[in-house]
Structure 1
Amino acid sequence: MTEPADTSNGLQTMRRRASGLLVVAVVVYIIARTQQDSSTVWGYVRATAEAAMVGGVADWFAVTALFRHPLGIPIPHTAIVATRKDAIGANLGLFVEENFLSADTIRTRIAAAEPAARIGEWLGSTTNVDRLVDRAANIAARAIEAFDDDQLQRAVDDILAARAAKLDHGNGLAELIDMSRRGQHHEVLVSATCRVAIEYMTDQRATLRRLLGDESPRWVPSIIDDQVFNRLHQAAISAITEIRHDLNHPARRALDRQLDDLKVRLRDDDHLRSKVSTSVENLISHPDVRDFSTRMGRDIRALIVSELTTPDSATRDTATRSVTDFGGQMTSDASLRDRIDASLSTAATKAAEIAGPELASLIESTVARWDGAETADRIEQQVGRDLQFIRINGTIVGGLVGLSIHTVGEVFL
């Protein structure tokens, strides 16, 4: 990884300054040594420079030992970053997990942030709501459009197969019959069927007469066929009309008995139940049904995408009103805000419990893959400039300490 030029230049500049200050201390010390017999003042100067050199060299060693062996000499416990980067990575990961992703830290941060109040305030702006709905709708539309026809067919097949596998078709059909019987819904169906049959027989009278003529022997006169047809046609319509209007008609009661018998068999007859299940499975897997389900899926997909992408669609209007109302409730209802904050806190805490060890492991494994020398160089580029101030301060503080000790010795001892 290439380090920014200003970071590298800043490190080099501060390193030259710290080294330059140490050189100044050395030069001053040499001069003071040559002049210390001429005046007592030079004794103070020599002591100051001498201690400054000691402090500067000691801190140079300490700073350098973090990243490399001083003067290239493999002194024990030097080049700490390069030789202990794996342990540093593990400790860094653990530090992040324990101090940034702990449950107490997350709960405290969420409580201080009051996210529900902020969300409610943000949703109070019509512009924000429109932008949110627009982005969410477009994302949903793109996600739906990403399904091609094959994926859609597989999805529909999987849904139908899953539903079919879970259902007890025999019991389901028996329950349907039972519900129809209790609610008398089948009576409505019988009446409607009778009405349709009467309308059909009336509208198709000529067709039915022709069919009778085709089946009648050639030697039977047509006038007799007409009389027979008229009587049969009228008798059939009359019989169906009676069934339609008489809810207690024997035919209806016979149908009730047949339905009750079928209901019992659907629950108790394993052979019939198996036949029903097989029929349902065959129906679901039939090519025509699959084609119909695919076409229906495509139509539904196109309708949903159109609703999502049309700015003034009913779906978008409903979503906008719902989001706006929700934002208003969050602003006005303190208990709702508390519940939302609590839910967010719980969710974030659980997520941290799961992600924390993973993040720590990621940090540890990432650092472990780095080259030791490269790792030391990266870290030095980032913090080395500030560490050079330690060298400068060590030189200055060392000089002041040396001056203080020399002064105490001269004055009091």
Structure 2
Amino acid sequence: MKTLALSLLIAIAAVFAVAFALQRQFPWLEYVRSAAEGGMVGALADWFAVTALFRHPMGLKIPHTAIIPRRKDQIGSALSGFVEDNFLSADVVRAKLDSVDIARKAGSWLSTPAGADRVAKEGAAVIRGAFTVLNDDDVQAVIEALVRKHLLAPPWGPPVGRLAERIFDAGHHHRLVDLLVDRAADWVAANYGTVTHVVTDRSPSWVPNFANELVGDKVYIELSKFVAAVQSDPNHQVRESIDKYLKDLARDLQYDPAMIARAESLKGQILGDPEVRDLARRTWTTIKHALLDAVNDPQSELYHRFTTGVRDFGTRLVSDDELAGKVNAWIGEAAGYAVATYRSDIAGVIEDTIARWDAEETSQKIELQVGRDLQYIRLNGTIVGALAGLVIYAIAHAIFGG
């Protein structure tokens, strides 16, 4: 949006320059010059106004500029106070909870098989976690050491080359080549306009349109014939070239020092230190989750009894008014106490967080959120300024003459 606004300013400045230079030769350009002059003034004024919110225009420390960076802490304090006064109120929280009737809503959900099963799964996860005594960092360190020893230490090029050579010699890659050729043929058949458009775009501007269309159509026909020939002929030169390239690549991976070095470089890019640690973490996480899930048997008697108890409790919350009232009152009192006791601490998180932000970073965060709309002010200022300049000049010209 900044680029768009700046481009409009540059464009109207160019219009002003041309109109100013030629207005004596063409008197009507005086109107254009006045409009462009007003547009430039409006654009520059609104640029200054928008920029002054977030930074010093052109680095000049003009008074009352860079408002947001200078008043960052005051903004955070005001926002924190607003949240504390209007949201973190015990009466507001209790009123909301009373209107929701959490006990019956929770009971309705718990009394369903899906709700009880969800609670059972979460409870099983808590139980399993209590028996998980292995330290994740230690296990991940062992996995990382194994990966470095058995995966990173050996060179990749020769073994990959040997495997690829066996695959290419057996012709197993031909199906993949067939698939790629078929997809290429389908793409050409469905993209006549794209092919002809590429030809038209790259032709000289002086070439007539009908000539471009003839050339584009000819190129499309020849391209279609070429792809069809590759598709129908298993011994086509293109297929043989692909075979030769792949087999040469497999041999180079085994015997060419430069290619082996490139494979090692690629290995380093794919499995650098962060990637290896992430691989170890993800591997252990997968193994751990698989083992812990195996501990929990949904068909066990304990699982069945637990889910039955949860469903019975949910049914009681729905049907027993006294129990539901007690639960709602307990939730309301707990929430009200938490809000009344810790409202300042909760709201202070906002103020403290904003206070820790760098002033420039804060300005950038806010500008990213609202800056796009603010740039429309610059665009509108350019347009309104141009219209105002034109109207003012027209009125002055009508009253005072040329």
TM-score scaled by length of structure 1: 0.48
Structure of larger gyration radius? 1
